[in-house]
Structure 1
Amino acid sequence: HLLFDRIVEPVVRRIGGSSDAESEAATESVLRLARRTREGAPVGTPLAIIGATAGAAEMTVEEIMVARTEIVAFPVTTEPSALLESVLEERYTRVPVFEESIDRVLGVVHLKDLIQHVRADGGNLQEILKPVLRVPERKPILRLLTEMQQAFVHLAVVKDEFGVTLGLCTQEDILEEIVGEIRDEFDHEELQTIRGFPDGSYQALGRVKVLDFNRETGWEVPAERGDSLGGLVFQHARARTPPGGAGLAARFRD
Structure 2
Amino acid sequence: MQQHDREKDRRSLFERLVEFISPGPDSTDELIESLATAEQRELIEPESRVMLEGVIRMAGMSAGDVMVAVKRMDLLDINAPYEDLLNQVIDAGHSRFPVFEGSRENIIGVLMTKDLLKLQRAPELNLRTLLRPPVFVPESKGLNELLRDFRANRSHMAIVIDEFGKTAGLITIEDVLEEIVGEIEDEFDVGESDSGIFTLADGSQRVAGDAEIEAVNQAFGIHLPMDDFDTIGGFVAHELGRVPRRGEAVEVAGLRFSVMLARGGAVRWFKVTRAPDAAEMSGS
**What is the DSSP-based 3-state SS (H/G/I as helix, E as strand, rest coil) of the residue aligned with 1:166?**
strand
Residue 57 (structure 1) aligned to one of 53, 56, 59: 59
Q: Does 1:135 align with 2:162?
A: no
User: How many residues of Structure 1 are paired with residues of Structure 2 in the alignment?
Assistant: 160
Distance 1:76 1:82, change over 3 A: same
Match of 2:209 among 193, 199, 206: 193
**Residue in structure 2 matched with residue 180 of structure 1 by the alignment:** 182
CA displacement at 1:133 relative to structure 2 = 1.2
Q: How far apart, in 2, do the equivalents of 1:77 and 1:60 lie? A: 33
CA displacement, residues 41-95 of structure 1 (integer Å, 9 cap, x when unaligned): xxx8111111111100111000000011111102111223321122113322221
1:216-235 equivalent positions in 2, closer than 5 A: none
Structure with greater Cα Rg: 2
Measured on the aligned residues, the alpha-carbon RMSD in Å equals 2.9
In the alignment, the residues of structure 1 paired with residue 112 and residue 207 of structure 2 have an alpha-carbon distance, to the nearest angstrom, of 23
Query: Taking structure 1 as the reference length, what is the TM-score of the superposition?
Result: 0.56
Could you tell me which amino acid in structure 2 is paired with residue 199 of structure 1?
A: M
Q: Alpha-carbon deviation of 1:97?
A: 0.3
Q: Is the 8 A contact 2:54 2:183 kept in 1?
A: no
Deviations 1:22-49 (A, max 9, x none): xxxxxxxxxxxxxxxxxxxxxx811111
What letter is aligned with 1:103?
E
Q: C-alpha separation between the residues in 1 aligned to 2:232 and 2:73? A: 18
Matched, 1:148 2:150: yes
TM-score (norm 2): 0.50
Letter in 2 for 1:74: L
User: Which has the bigger relative contact order, CA under 8 A and spacing at least 6?
Assistant: 1
Stretches of structure 1 that go unaligned for 5 or more consecutive residues are 1-43, 183-189, 208-227, 231-254
SS in 1 for 2:120: helix
- 2:136–2:160 CA contact under 8 A, matched in 1: yes
Q: Say if 2:100 is the partner of 1:98.
A: yes
Runs of 4+ in 1 over 3 A off after TM superposition: 190-195
Alpha-carbon deviations, 1:111-163, whole Å to 9, x = none?
A: 11111232222433211112221111010011011112222222111112322
Q: 2:231 aligns with which of 202, 209, 214?
A: 202
Any unmatched runs of 5+ in structure 2?
1-45, 185-205, 214-223, 238-242, 244-263, 267-284
SS at match of 2:141: coil
Any residues of structure 2 matched to 1:8-23 within 5 Å, and which? none
Secondary structure at the counterpart of residue 83 of structure 2: helix
More strand by percentage: 2
Q: In structure 1, what residue type is equivalent to 2:88?
A: S
Letter in 1 for 2:153: A
Q: Is the 8 A contact 2:72 2:265 kept in 1?
A: no
Secondary structure in 2 aligned to 1:45?
Answer: helix
Aligned counterparts of 2:122 and 2:137: Cα–Cα separation in 1? 34
Once residues 146 and 127 of structure 1 are traced to their aligned partners in structure 2, the CA distance between those partners, rounded to angstroms, is 28
Q: Provide the residue aligned with 1:21 in structure 2.
A: none
**Amino acid in the other structure paired with 1:170:** T
For residue 75 of structure 2, the aligned residue among 56, 73, 84 is 73
